[in-house]
Amino acid sequence: MKLVRFDGFRIGIVRDAQVIDISDIVGASATEWPPVAMNRLIRDFAQLRPRIEQAASRSGTPLRDVTLLTPVPWPNKVIAYPVNYHDHAAEMGAAYRANTQGFFLKPPSSLSGASEPIILPAVSGRRIDHECELAIIIGKEGRDIPRERWRDHVFGYSCLIDVSVRGKEERVARKAADTFCPVGPWIVSADEIDDPAALRGRLWVNGELRQDANTRDWVLDLPGMIEMAAAIMTLYPGDIIAAGTPAGVGPIKAGDKVRIAFENVGEMILDVVQGETGRASIFRNPPDAV
């Protein structure tokens, strides 16, 4: 099942290039704050699924006519595993790996969707890079989750781009800008993905293939990501794990079009535009590293 958030606040399923509105089933509304309708759907999916499948007979709206937003706009946290491919470690000159270094957090405010642009902050003299990653959506609350129970806690998968300002400032400060975490175009439920550790992921900039790898090359596997994160903190429905990027990380600039695709998951094409905000003092000096 493909689940989307679209046109402001609505929740839907995608069938045959049509979006079928199921906002009424999950209680999504324009006045809800914070916008956690998708979190509720994920938490209650087992009991709601018969009603959702029955709603598939409703008339829909062509996918091309809706504005696709990030599927879970209000996760408790976005957990990101850096240097989780050996080839990326080599290109970055990093001696550590995700299995020994752990993770960092991106703020939910950095999330954006498939119909929204990547907005570059006004930081002159800094390279801003794309990073192609698989997003894992948590479906069930848990703490101290053993490796063998990881499937019990995964709801689904999506495409994710971790946008990064290069430099030696704190990692989160360089990765936290609004729109620096596009996720979409939808969530594919876990039952549709036989093996998330065998998915080809690719990223293009203006039609040029920049990144092309398979999740089988993760340093820290998905059971390990779940186990590590849950050993330190409670995971909640709607939490997002960014599983790391392979080699081929490169710069983006205003006017570019970035396309990301994961087989059996989906793809999205995003415009890159120049913003007028983001002139943080930490970025005024030349970077020590690019």
- Could you give the C-alpha distances from 132 to 18, 45, 172, 225, 244, in angstroms and in order? 27, 28, 17, 17, 8
Per-residue pLDDT at 134: 98
Per-residue pLDDT at 121: 96
Q: What's the pLDDT tens digit per position in 143-186? A: 999 999 999 999 999 999 999 999 989 999 999 999 999 999 99
What is the separation, in whole angstroms, between the first and last Cα of the chain? 41
Given CA atoms 52, 36, 84, 225 in this order, what sign does their dihedral have? negative
Instruction: Tell me how far apart the alpha carbons of residues 167 and 8 are, in angstroms, rounded to a whole number.
Output: 35
- Arithmetic mean of pLDDT, 244-267: 96
pLDDT band per the 50, 70, 90 thresholds, residue 51 = very high
Per-residue pLDDT at 290: 40
At 237, list the tokens.
Answer: 């429905």
Residue at token pair 């990093």: 94
Instruction: Tell me how far apart the alpha carbons of residues 74 and 41 are, in angstroms, rounded to a whole number.
Output: 13
Q: Inform me whether the pLDDT recorded for 289 exceeds 90.
A: no
CATH number of 78-283: 3.90.850.10
**For the purposes of burial, counting CB atoms within 10 Å of the CB of 71, is it exposed (0-12), middle (13-18) or buried (19 or more)?**
buried
CATH 3.90.850.10 location in the chain:
78-283
Q: Count of residues for the chain?
A: 290
Per-residue pLDDT at 258: 98
Contact, 86 vs 98, CB < 8 A? no
Gyration radius of the chain's alpha carbons: 18
Per-residue pLDDT at 184: 96
- Could you give the C-alpha distances from 73 to 34, 87, 265, in angstroms and in order? 9, 31, 19
Instruction: Tell me how far apart the alpha carbons of residues 87 and 118 are, in angstroms, rounded to a whole number.
Output: 26
Average pLDDT, the chain: 94
Instruction: Tell me how far apart the alpha carbons of residues 39 and 55 are, in angstroms, rounded to a whole number.
Output: 19
What is the reported pTM? 0.95
Q: What's the pLDDT tens digit per position in 85-132? A: 877 767 766 666 778 889 999 999 999 999 999 999 999 889 999 999
Q: What's the pLDDT tens digit per position in 202-239? A: 999 999 999 999 999 999 999 999 999 999 999 999 99
What does the DSSP assignment read for 9-72? TEEEEEETTEEEE-HHHHT--TT-SS--HHHHHHHTHHHHHHHHHHHTTS--EEGGGS-EE-S-
* Whole-number percent of the chain with pLDDT over 70: 96
Given CA atoms 14, 17, 23, 28 in this order, what sign does their dihedral have? positive
Q: Inform me whether the pLDDT recorded for 2 exceeds 70.
A: yes
Listed residue (115, 252, 116, 244) closest to 178, CA to CA: 116
CA 233 from chain centre, in angstroms, equals 20
